[in-house]
Amino acid sequence: MNNPASGNAALAARDLRHVWHPCTQMHDHESVPMLPIVRGEGAWLVDADGRRYLDGISSWWTNLFGHANPRLAAALADQAQRLEHVIFAGFTHPPAIELAEALVRITPPGLDKVFFADNGSAAIEVALKMSFHYWLNRGHGEKTRFIALTGSYHGETLGALSVSDVALYRKTYAPLLLTPFLAPSPDAYEGEPGESPEQTAKRRLGELRALLERHAHETCAVIVEPLVQCAGGMRMYHPSYLAGLRALCDEFAVHFIADEIAVGFGRTGTLFACEQAAVSPDFMCLSKGLTAGFMPLSVVLTTDDVYAAFYAEYRTGKAFLHSHSYTGNPLACRVALETLAIFRDEPVLERNRGLAARLARRLAPLRDHPHVADVRQCGMIAAVELVADKAMRRPYPATERRGLRVYLHGLQHGALLRPLGNVVYFMPPYVVTEQDIDLLVDTAIAGIERAVTD
């Protein structure tokens, strides 16, 4: 028997008295359960009543190797007994040094300098400020603008939100934000009828070129989520867009910022998404999978050329100024190192290929569903686009909250699925089994059936 004082109901009631949760209309919790999780085991979460949920979204796309992973937990415990934190200005420590060395080794060529921060949005702030400041230090103070893609999401601090284009997050705060130039996303779902993803990418590159022709002189950088625009609905595009983007950035002297916060560390099938186009960006932002979901940490990798623009006598005032108290936290760096060691020691990407194939096979029948307009996949990310009208690709109105019905169905059946509006997606930890994948897909299919039935 569960102790009612420490069960779901008691903990949820205490939570709702004082805690304000992210990405939530708190009023929803008058009908939607608040779930107290007390334990994690591999891909599974366990609530205070002992019910289990398969984490189909890797707890906001962070978890790679399972909850409470013993190897990561041991590294964390060991580091906690050596050094938990130290100011990162004027001081350094072995986990940060080793992590920087390892990241430079495994990321695309040319990314030789590592700046630490502590969450994804902070990494975006760093990249935007660094790009602007680079051009300023090089005598181009007229470059103050950024180009972002329609449908993009880069975080919710004011700078990161400025270069994001998901109305749900941006609209309310728009009066506070910088205004980017928006280039049309190469999103294959929005391609012209009969157009291949590669043709869509090519057409969109033409539109980006036109934007750069008008605005490159005042533009610092183009920022993109390589291959998959995640929060924008798991919209996917052809890698040739990234190769074309690299060439355009070189031609027009603007930086290329690759936000691999969500897609890095194997999500798209390669360790980094940029590898699929064989490109090196000028800035690469990493977080989430960097610590396999254990600790908040982020990094911005950049080039020697960018670094050199800041490297000068103190009196020149060219230093990059951006600091967070927990910059380069040793606990987080140590866990990140252990995460990379798992990639080194185990055939992670190879195993994922088998899991991704299983996911694809199990999702395929949904293509014929009368309310499914698209089933798409890129490595370990798969998404199902629900629509009111398949022929016209007319979405369900957001107010109908069809995705919420899938979410609630999932919880009742032991699966954590958290659709983005009308998009039901799968981004499981890499430790799921084929049976886990079957459970996720079967639960999603039944949930979709319930969600589209009025």
Ligand X SMILES: Cc1ncc(COP(=O)(O)O)c(C=O)c1O
Q: Provide the minimum distance between the beta carbon of 385 and ligand X in the complex, in angstroms, as a whole number.
A: 18
Nearest to ligand X of 264, 451 (CB atom): 264
Nearest to ligand X of 165, 259 (CB atom): 259
* Part of the chain binding ligand X (CB under 6 A), chosen from 118-126, 264-272, 377-385, 401-409: 118-126
Nearest to ligand X of 225, 374 (CB atom): 225
* Segment 139 to 198, residues that bind ligand X, using CB under 6 A: 153-155
Strand partners, 219: 145
Question: Which residues 6+ apart lie within 8 Å of 3 measured at CB?
Answer: none
Q: Which of 43, 231, 301, 411 binds ligand X (CB under 6 A)?
A: 231
Nearest to ligand X of 149, 279 (CB atom): 149
Conformation bin of residue 64: beta by default, left when phi > 0, alpha when psi is -120 to 50: alpha
Q: Provide the minimum distance between the beta carbon of 429 and ligand X in the complex, in angstroms, as a whole number.
A: 16
* Segment 210 to 229, residues that bind ligand X, using CB under 6 A: 225
Q: How many CB atoms are located within 10 Å of the residue 220 CB?
A: 24
Binding mask 381-420 for ligand X (x = CB under 6 A): ----------------------------------------
Question: Which residues 6+ apart lie within 8 Å of 139 measured at CB?
Answer: none
Q: Provide the minimum distance between the beta carbon of 220 and ligand X in the complex, in angstroms, as a whole number.
A: 18
Q: Provide the minimum distance between the beta carbon of 302 and ligand X in the complex, in angstroms, as a whole number.
A: 17
* Part of the chain binding ligand X (CB under 6 A), chosen from 85-93, 114-122, 314-322, 351-359: 114-122
Q: How many residues of this chain interact with ligand X, rule: CB under 6 A?
A: 14
Nearest to ligand X of 233, 410 (CB atom): 233
Q: How far apart (Å, rounded) are the C-alpha atoms in residues 119 and 100?
A: 16
Nearest to ligand X of 111, 372 (CB atom): 111
Q: Provide the minimum distance between the beta carbon of 312 and ligand X in the complex, in angstroms, as a whole number.
A: 31
Q: Provide the minimum distance between the beta carbon of 49 and ligand X in the complex, in angstroms, as a whole number.
A: 29
* Segment 252 to 291, residues that bind ligand X, using CB under 6 A: 259, 261-262, 287
Q: How far apart (Å, rounded) are the C-alpha atoms in residues 367 and 426?
A: 16
Q: Which helix (H) or strand (E) holds 145?
A: strand 145-149
Nearest to ligand X of 259, 282 (CB atom): 259
Nearest to ligand X of 48, 262 (CB atom): 262
Nearest to ligand X of 216, 279 (CB atom): 279
Give yes or no for residue 58 binding ligand X (CB under 6 A). no
Q: Provide the minimum distance between the beta carbon of 155 and ligand X in the complex, in angstroms, as a whole number.
A: 3
Nearest to ligand X of 417, 445 (CB atom): 417
Nearest to ligand X of 47, 125 (CB atom): 125
Give the torsion sign (CA, 356, 271, 258, 57): positive
Q: Provide the minimum distance between the beta carbon of 282 and ligand X in the complex, in angstroms, as a whole number.
A: 17
Q: Which of 58, 79, 107, 119 binds ligand X (CB under 6 A)?
A: 119
Residue nearest ligand X, Cβ-based: 120
* Part of the chain binding ligand X (CB under 6 A), chosen from 117-125, 142-150, 419-427, 432-440: 117-125
Q: Which of 79, 107, 121, 268 binds ligand X (CB under 6 A)?
A: 121
Query: What's the token pair of residue 280?
Result: 């090196």
Strands (E), 336-447: 372-378, 381-386, 415-416, 423-426
Give yes or no for residue 230 binding ligand X (CB under 6 A). yes
Q: Provide the minimum distance between the beta carbon of 101 and ligand X in the complex, in angstroms, as a whole number.
A: 24
Strands (E), 158-316: 181-183, 219-224, 228-229, 235-236, 255-259, 283-286, 298-302
Nearest to ligand X of 120, 395 (CB atom): 120
Supply φ then ψ for residue 47, to 5 degrees. Answer: -90, 180
Q: Are 256 and 219 in contact (CB under 8 A)?
A: no
Supply φ then ψ for residue 87, to 5 degrees. Answer: -50, 135
Conformation bin of residue 220: beta by default, left when phi > 0, alpha when psi is -120 to 50: alpha
Q: Provide the minimum distance between the beta carbon of 358 and ligand X in the complex, in angstroms, as a whole number.
A: 25
Q: How many residues are present in the chain?
A: 454
Q: Provide the minimum distance between the beta carbon of 16 and ligand X in the complex, in angstroms, as a whole number.
A: 23
Per-residue H/E/C for 32-79: CCCCCEEEEEECEEEECCCCEEEECCHHHHCCCCCECCHHHHHHHHHH
Give the torsion sign (CA, 37, 40, 44, 49): negative
Task: List Cα–Cα distances, 353 to 66, 267, 370, in angstroms.
Answer: 18, 11, 29
Pairing of strands 181-183, 145-149: parallel
Q: Which helix (H) or strand (E) holds 305?
A: helix 304-308
Which residues of this protein are in contact with ligand X, per CB under 6 A?
A: 119-121, 124, 153-155, 225, 230-231, 259, 261-262, 287
